[in-house]
Structure 1
């Protein structure tokens, strides 16, 4: 099955697969969070396997935030490729000391905090022999609200982890996204209004490292992006816009958008700041 382009209609019949472009898009800007989290790891976006992009994110993360440890552990399942990339680059063994309950949903998209916290308690099982007395590097694809990670770190401490070093293959998320993603308010984002050190203390880890925006660009582009700023919310990388009129009162004023987009019109798929993503 080929990748479906924006505005394209795919029909399948006895004669095969047929594609028809119904709406011509002057510019497609893919949300970079597709590479980081949303897309299935086996899918392709713009001719690149998501799995391989996530491995590259992990390698960049290991270059930027090395630390001595006994084991690199992913937060399953979406962080597995990034953790493998980190472990390969760092030369540290990889192991799944955290096992996901196969019947659990994605915590990030739960509709309210109470359900998310309850889901976290049911979501993971720990492999104690890999945790007890070990120095762990925990790799997560992103740290959005922090509700999953804080409780997960507490559980790892309970099972005897000697050190916990948290690494995120996404830069800090400090501002909401108004394009249908369930992070509507600044106050729900753990990095909003907090320094990285404050986030580290809140979560309870020994060290915390976020992939830089330059590293994100290198992983996606396979090219060095010296001009990119260091955080999603940097005003040189995004523009302000007014949310749609049906949004809540507290969101009616002009806010910065959460994330960057991948400009598909650029030859190397550069990570760029745009005013609005076209889906």
Structure 2
């Protein structure tokens, strides 16, 4: 089954091609792009559209690759031995399965999401190379070898916070989710806000792209943020005229949904001040 846009997710032709190519090659799909461009949601949509179970592994700065395989709880075993618990005689009672183990032992094919891989230590991707290549790993405490019953579809996301090792990149099929052009963004908005008035949508997206292109902006608003902004505009029953901005009123309506740093708010406030000064 090939992946394509769904009722709740607009995938460009290039993105759909990347997903299907990775599935065909049986390679992890590495997806990069600005935060808020739908990288994590992609895995959920691939899972839903193909009718496969999704297993999510959300990586943090403290996450180690070993946690994706399994963890041995030696502390609990020591405590139980002191208490005379019979469980201590079977080390398997103290093995905690990780997300890769869960994906490997599934009877059916699953989608495995490794989310924000670049948050972890730089060695994290390298530590997973062999397991993702061979689709197996060894459990030293029990002597088991865990092999994938069905090769999972692996989707790995990155926000480009740090460079990933070359050896890791070689093993992945790569796709960068570019920020959508205005027509693609219109289609995305229509999924989330069906029937929105054309005049309001045109005014809102025009303003939105002007904000993104403003020189000196520290954090450009993302796709998810424009969706939230439009939800607020609809809730407040604002129209296209309400969104009109001039030099004296450079901040957009309900700008807190779009501008997320003091620096960016001050930037637009300075633009308004400069415009008023020129008029004066």
Instruction: Report the TM-score range of the alignment, normalised by the length of the smaller protein.
Output: 0.3 to 0.5
Structure scoring higher RCO (CA < 8 A, sep ≥ 6) equals: 2
> TM-score normalised to the size of structure 2?
0.35
Q: Which has the higher strand share?
A: 1
Larger radius of gyration between Structure 1 and Structure 2: 2
Higher fraction of helix: 2
TM-score by length of 1: 0.35
